[in-house]
Structure 1
Amino acid sequence: MQRAEPLRVGDRVTAEALVGGVLANMAALEAILAEEAAHVRAGRLREGLAAAEPKAALAAAYMQGLEVAKANAVALKRFNPDGVETLRAAHRRFTAAVEANQSVLDSARSVSEGLIKSLADEIGRAQVPSGYGKQAPAPSPYGRGVRSGPLVLSRNL
């Protein structure tokens, strides 16, 4: 497998094209992240996770563009200083958007973990018969100690 030659910025046109490409990838990725967060906030997890492949492709293109920009930092500053400042400001906004998206996803994860834990506790509590005397789990119908039912989850939520 042959590796492609890395892009070298040698003039203003190439510098502007590189900055424009990184900005375009960043804007598209930011839009997907905002859409994903909106779906997750509304409880539409399936729709929120539907854009995983385009998000991964845009994230890879964005990271590759950043690597090329870092490798050509001196030339970019020389040929397109305004573009570098625009890129820095856009990157700060993008970082805030990524943090907001991660916050929404972390909240959804903690809520779902809490639901599963409470469901498991409820199922475990239902297995203990109530009555007089010492509380003990119901015996297994198979004769091997304590009965424990399976925890079944629906993926169609």
Structure 2
Amino acid sequence: MSAADRLETLETLDAVTLCERAESALNSLVDVMARETMHLHAGHIREAGALTAEKAQLAQDYVTVARAVQRSAERLKNEAPERVEILRRGHEALATQMAENLKVLATAKSVSETILLDVARQCGRDEVPKVYDALGNSPQQATPVFKGISVNRAS
């Protein structure tokens, strides 16, 4: 079924059912993002990474149903205004969760880059000759030596 067909099918649902589908997709996405954020806060990068595919699928599902809601907005406001208000509040919760998630992801990325640079500098520092010139000075390299590193992911 194409995306257009899925969208058309969703738009034909009654107002309450469409809102319930949107709310379910929204809550599932908020939940997986909260779990990912929790893992990242705890430094459990692998566990957070394991949620990537699920998060991507839930985001795609939410976008599809949100598009149907958007295209049916007037009908939904008239037929199920209380459900539309619940969706609006849920969307605000999603925006808050996304902001927190992005902040934690940016922090994890920055920490990872810093660790890798520190390791590379340390590896390069070991390559500096440990001798002195005729005046007793330690030779200084003009630029640090950065060698490639490998990571054993077997454990």
Same fold per TM (> 0.5)?
Answer: yes
Structure 1 letter corresponding to 2:149: L
Pick closer, same or farther for the CA change 1:100–1:8 going to 2, 3 Å: closer
Distance 1:129-1:8 versus aligned 2 partners, 3 A rule: closer
C-alpha displacement of 1:153: 2.5
* CA distances 1:3-39 after superposition (whole Å, capped 9, x unpaired): 52614757xx711111111111111111111111111
Tell me if 1:102 matches 2:102.
yes
- Which ranges of structure 1 fall in alignment gaps of 5 or more residues? 138-146
Q: Taking structure 1 as reference, are residues 53 and 9 closer, same or farther at Cα in structure 2, changes over 3 Å only? A: closer
- Asked if residue 114 in structure 1 is aligned to residue 124 in structure 2, the reply is no
Higher relative contact order (CA 8 A, sep 6+): 2
- Match for residue 8 of structure 2? 6
> Contact (CA 8 Å) 1:37, 1:101: kept in 2 or not?
yes
TM-score (norm 2): 0.83
Q: Which has the higher helix share?
A: 2
- Alignment check: 8 A CA contact 2:120 2:148 kept: no
**Aligned partners of 1:75, 1:59: CA distance in 2, in Å?**
24
For residues 49 and 156 of structure 1, what CA distance do their matches in structure 2 show? 16
Q: What's the counterpart of residue 135 of structure 1? A: 139
**Structure 1 SS opposite 2:14:** helix
Alpha-carbon distance in 2 for matches of 1:127, 1:43: 32
Structure 1 residues 30-45: aligned runs within 5 Å: 30-45=30-45
Runs of 4+ that moved beyond 2 A: 7-10, 147-150, 153-157
The 5-angstrom pairing of residues 8-157 of structure 1 reads: 9=11, 14-133=14-133, 135=139, 149-155=147-153
Aligned residues: 146
Q: Give TM-score scaled by structure 1 length.
A: 0.82
Q: Which runs of 5+ in 2 are unaligned?
A: none
Distance in 1 (CA, whole Å) between partners of 2:47 and 2:100 is 18
1:9–1:76 Cα contact (<8 Å) kept: no
Is the alpha carbon distance of 1:87 and 1:149 closer, same or farther for their aligned partners in structure 2, counting shifts above 3 Å? Answer: closer
RMSD: 2.4
